[in-house]
Amino acid sequence: MLLVTGGAGFIGANFILDWLAASDEAIVNLDKLTYAGNLENLRPLDGDARHVFVQGDIGDRTLVDALLQRYRPRAVINFAAESHVDRSIHGPAEFIQTNVVGTFNLLESVRAHWAGLPADAQAAFRFLHISTDEVYGSLGPTDPPFSETTAYAPNSPYSASKAASDHLVRAYHHTYGLPVLTTNCSNNYGPLQFPEKLIPLVIHNALAGKPLPIYGDGSNVRDWLYVGDHCSAIRRVLEAGRVGETYNIGGRNEKTNLEVVHTLCAILDELHPGSPVTPHASLIAFVKDRPGHDRRYAIDATKIERELGWTPGETFETGIRRTVAWYLANADWVNHVTSGEYRRWVSQNYADTSV
């Protein structure tokens, strides 16, 4: 049995679906169901006894203690996080509460549970913390990619809160001996991603004939990782990662935001020529850059490749085509998640930002 936190979100849901497609080991899924947590992501598991869903907060010590005592998982995988930079700029308090205070409370519950296990179960237990490359800050055009030894230099409330959570996880290993693992991944994309992030936002707007907003001049660089590859890396780290170690996970796909958007437009021109406005690239609109926008991220994944034999299975070209095809085939999912809260967010985040 695994306890997965944040398992109704984008990466967590993909992980659970992939895990249960390949294994009969059950999962208890604890998710608060904030705006980006969506049980529709897990609809293929309706009626599947291997998936136990519990709505709740990782900061709720009473609830987490009860789940650990009842299910006695062999590992806890912590996906739960507020994860969007723009939202952290508008409202940083929620990010501190979930990513810092929530992780602290989760660690306290897990530490107490682990301390009470028999010696063999203690040795086998793992706490796997899912983090981000944004904790490392911003790279210059010729700087080497982030490695596991790169100094932390977070530049947004989001990345600062994730950096704090990473430090707490590390400290609980060195102080208390808790058997932890940490992964820092590059930008994920793929099915089930809430359309506040660049790729699903562009697909959603393009299909509706709406402007495709690009911050600044569009030259910000990200390393793109298909979510299925991220999930396979997490499984491998859980299986064979060295306790106390950090593993960077990246796709070796550095692209500017403008390159990504043009690629999406070209695929949509091919696969969906009946959109209200074509060619889709004619919808590109440059908007005022967000405060403190990091210029470049890149991941050196040598450590996980060398030590654990993991490599991504998708190129950017294959992964992005699969992603567009998924969104075209799942219009109902998109329509459901882009109501209410999503429209309020778009109105707030892109109001008066034209340049």
- Residues belonging to the active site: 133-134, 158
Task: Copy the structure tokens of residue 119.
Answer: 């010696």
Task: Copy the structure tokens of residue 178.
Answer: 């808790």
Q: Report yes or no: 157 and 88 within 8 Å, Cβ to Cβ.
A: yes
Query: Residue 95: how many CA atoms within 13 Å on its side-chain side?
Result: 19
Instruction: Report which secondary-structure segment, H or E, holds 55.
Output: strand 51-55
Pick the closest to residue 258 from 284, 225, 226 (CA basis): 284
The angle at the Cα of 67, spanning 58 to 77, to the nearest 5 degrees, equals 55
Amino acid at residue number 183? T
Strand boundaries in 246-298, DSSP class E: 246-249, 254-256, 284-287
Distance CA 332, CA 266 (A): 23
Helices H, strands E: what count in the chain? 14, 12
Amino acid at residue number 84? H
Task: Copy the structure tokens of residue 196.
Answer: 């506040």
Distance CA 94, CA 97 (A): 5
Task: Copy the structure tokens of residue 102.
Answer: 């929530």
Q: Report yes or no: 130 and 185 within 8 Å, Cβ to Cβ.
A: yes
Q: Report yes or no: 39 and 53 within 8 Å, Cβ to Cβ.
A: yes
Q: Report yes or no: 192 and 11 within 8 Å, Cβ to Cβ.
A: no
